[in-house]
């Protein structure tokens, strides 16, 4: 019974999100999903029920926005007198005048929508680059710390030592200088002849994030009891297989909250891309401000969008954490 209710809440949440193209039906379905979740306390420990509730909340917000847009801005045949009166009153408010001036005239909202797309693009590829660099640097440093006693000289130890020192310099330089300075150095010095601003931003934020990810992962690896290494060796695993199948899976559970925090910081750090002329989300809001000489509405809109992105990402991470914890039982 418990599983069936959790599955039902999940299905209702999915249907509510799909039905958002029909705002009335989507709103009813979203409310139904939230009522189901509230009425069944037993399902609140289920990840599926939590996902369904989250989808219902998203669908509810989407439907409310769409319904508001339809009622206030779309042309409606045979609209009732009270709705026409409401529209006229709304159009006469100072809020609507500011809204129209900042977002509707000359389709200025496109500065924010296009900037949001650029922010997502830069963040996605920078996260991939940061993870790749972070894992490599963390493995080099942790491997040297673990194997330096076992490797009695020779070419292998020399190579590992050189890589260890290079990684140390990388971490010192990247963590010791501001990301905006790194961004400008890469754009104005290293890639001065390139016009690909997105590539420059991805490299700058990915390299910067990689340094912090490396230390987070290395801390997670070192937090795993050394007896786990010995257990892997006793099973006949080499160092690489022990790290791959025993150490890293345990370390990942430990470092997940810190990694999530780093990626949230990375999303917000992309707001400095405007220093190299990249029109991301913050720059889009600033362009509107420069056109209208009104700072409040465009900058508040940008702040709300960042907040919603971070809330959504934090919710996804919390679900993943719960899933990993439940797998330990």
User: Each residue of 22-80: pLDDT tens digit?
Assistant: 888 999 999 999 998 988 887 777 888 888 999 999 999 999 999 988 888 888 778 78
- Residue 148, pLDDT score: 67
What span, in angstroms and rounded, lies between the C-alpha atoms of 252 and 125?
Answer: 21
- Residue 150, pLDDT score: 65
The answer to whether 270 and 119 are in contact (CB under 8 A) is: yes
What span, in angstroms and rounded, lies between the C-alpha atoms of 329 and 114?
Answer: 45
The answer to whether 170 and 137 are in contact (CB under 8 A) is: yes
The highest-level CATH class for domain 118-272 is: mainly alpha
- Residue 169, pLDDT score: 95
- Residue 227, pLDDT score: 79
Give percent of the chain with pLDDT exceeding 70.
95
Q: How confident is the model at residue 327 (pLDDT cuts 50, 70, 90)?
A: low
Tokens of 187: 């754009």
Burial (CB count within 10 angstroms: exposed 0-12, middle 13-18, buried 19+), residue 260: middle
- Residue 108, pLDDT score: 92
134-190: pLDDT as tens digits: 999 998 888 877 776 666 666 767 888 889 899 999 999 999 999 999 999 999 999
78-88: pLDDT as tens digits: 878 888 888 88
Q: Which residues of 119-152 are buried (b: 16+ CB within 10 A; e: fewer)?
A: beebbebbbebbbebbbebbbbbbbbebeeeeee
What span, in angstroms and rounded, lies between the C-alpha atoms of 141 and 210?
Answer: 14
Average pLDDT over residues 277-297: 91
Please compute, for residue 51, the number of CA atoms within 13 A of its CA located in the half-sphere on the CB side.
17
240-253: pLDDT as tens digits: 788 877 888 888 88
pLDDT greater than 90 at residue 2: no
pLDDT greater than 90 at residue 195: no
- Residue 55, pLDDT score: 92
Average pLDDT over residues 283-307: 92
* Ranges of H-type helices in the chain: 2-18, 23-39, 47-73, 81-91, 94-99, 109-147, 155-175, 179-185, 197-223, 226-234, 239-242, 248-269, 281-292, 296-328
Domain residues of the chain, as ranges? 2-92, 118-272
How much is the pTM? Answer: 0.86
Average pLDDT over residues 102-128: 93
pLDDT greater than 70 at residue 322: yes
CA 324 remoteness from chain centre: 19
What span, in angstroms and rounded, lies between the C-alpha atoms of 302 and 306?
Answer: 6
Average pLDDT over residues 109-124: 93
Shortest CA distance to 65 belongs to which of 310, 316, 305? 305
**C-alpha triplet 28, 13, 262: angle, nearest 5°:** 130
- Residue 317, pLDDT score: 83
Tokens of 225: 């009891």
Out of 101-105, 120-124, 322-326, pick the least confident: 322-326
């Amino acid at each position: 019974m418990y599983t069936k209710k959790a599955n039902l809440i999940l299905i209702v949440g999915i249907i509510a999100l799909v039905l958002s193209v029909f705002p009335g039906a989507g709103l009813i379905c979203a409310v139904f999903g939230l009522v189901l979740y509230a009425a069944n306390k037993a399902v609140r420990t289920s990840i599926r029920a939590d996902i369904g509730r989250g989808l219902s909340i998203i669908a509810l917000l989407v439907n409310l926005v769409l319904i508001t847009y339809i009622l206030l801005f779309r042309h409606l045949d045979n609209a009732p007198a009270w709705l026409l009166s409401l529209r006229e009153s709304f159009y006469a408010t100072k809020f609507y005048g500011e809204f129209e001036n900042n977002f509707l005239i000359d389709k200025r909202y496109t500065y924010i929508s296009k900037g949001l797309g650029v922010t997502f693009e830069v963040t996605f590829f920078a996260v991939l680059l940061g993870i790749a660099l972070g894992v490599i640097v963390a493995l080099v440093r942790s491997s040297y710390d673990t194997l330096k006693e076992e490797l009695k000289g020779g070419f292998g130890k020399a190579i590992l030592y050189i890589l260890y020192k290079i990684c140390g310099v990388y971490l010192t330089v990247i963590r010791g200088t501001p990301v905006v300075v790194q961004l400008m150095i890469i754009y104005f010095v290293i890639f001065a002849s390139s016009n690909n601003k997105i590539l420059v931003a991805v490299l700058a934020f990915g390299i910067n994030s990689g340094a912090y990810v490396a230390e987070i992962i290395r801390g997670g690896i070192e937090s795993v009891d050394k007896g786990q290494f010995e257990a892997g060796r006793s099973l006949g695993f080499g160092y690489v297989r022990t790290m791959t199948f025993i150490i890293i899976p345990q370390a990942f559970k430990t470092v997940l909250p810190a990694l999530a925090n780093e990626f949230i910081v990375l999303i917000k750090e992309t707001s400095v891309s405007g220093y190299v002329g990249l029109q991301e989300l913050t720059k889009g809001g600033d362009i509107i401000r420069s056109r209208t000489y009104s700072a409040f509405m465009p900058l508040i809109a940008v702040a709300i969008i960042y907040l919603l992105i971070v809330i959504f990402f934090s919710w996804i991470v919390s679900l993943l954490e719960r899933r990993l914890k439940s797998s330990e039982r």
